[in-house]
Amino acid sequence: MLDLRDECTRFHLFMGGVVLLLIAVDWPLAKWLGLEGFDRFRTITLGDLFGPALLVAVIVYCQWRNYRPLREAAILVIWIVALTATLNVLIQICGKSPAPLVDSQLARMDEAFSPSVLSIVEWVRPFRALRIALLLTYDSLPLLVLLAAMVPTLQGRYRYSYRLLWGVTLAGIATAAMFALWPAVGPWV
């Protein structure tokens, strides 16, 4: 039986609604725009099911043993994976916007600020150790975000993790909307 007075229950129901809404928007638009990669779901292998099955087993075990922090952390992992997938598709959809590319305007804005991103990249280039440190820092971002969501939850401070996840969701949706209005190829091309 669901206790709607419980903050965790309300959050999970809300996140379920958000993910279902994103899927309801993403799926038909992605098919209509002809985005590739969705045929992969027709050929799900046994190996693809291992991670989700393990998470469900952890959730069921923690519910049975009444270990709420680990159960909430496992559920958060599911929300993080679901949001990552649905928001990535939404951003790809927004990238197909008919709006004109704004790369030149973004480059001019970057030049107006001192120092520019390009000048920082050029300055760092001769320093191998600094380049490696910056690369490791950049590559560790997903792990740090996951830890930022998991550590408070494992300590029983669910509200902090819920706020983080909700904030990341809003930021992802806002980013997708801005990308649809002002698409850009980016500085890597």
User: Comparing 113 with 88, which gets the higher pLDDT?
Assistant: 88
Q: Is the peptide bond before 69 cis (omega within 30 degrees of 0)?
A: no
Exposed, middle or buried, 26 (CB in 10 Å: 0-12/13-18/19+)? buried
Q: Is the pLDDT of residue 177 over 90?
A: yes
pTM for this prediction:
0.81
Q: Is the pLDDT of residue 189 over 60?
A: no
- Angle among Cα 131, 134, 138 to the nearest 5 degrees reads 135
Is the Cβ–Cβ distance between 145 and 64 less than 8 Å?
Answer: no
Per-residue pLDDT reduced to its tens digit, 71-87: 999 999 999 989 998 99
% of the chain with per-residue pLDDT over 90: 50
Taking all residues of the chain, what is their mean pLDDT, rounded to a whole number?
Answer: 87
For CA atoms 135, 137, 143, 149, give the dihedral sign. Answer: negative
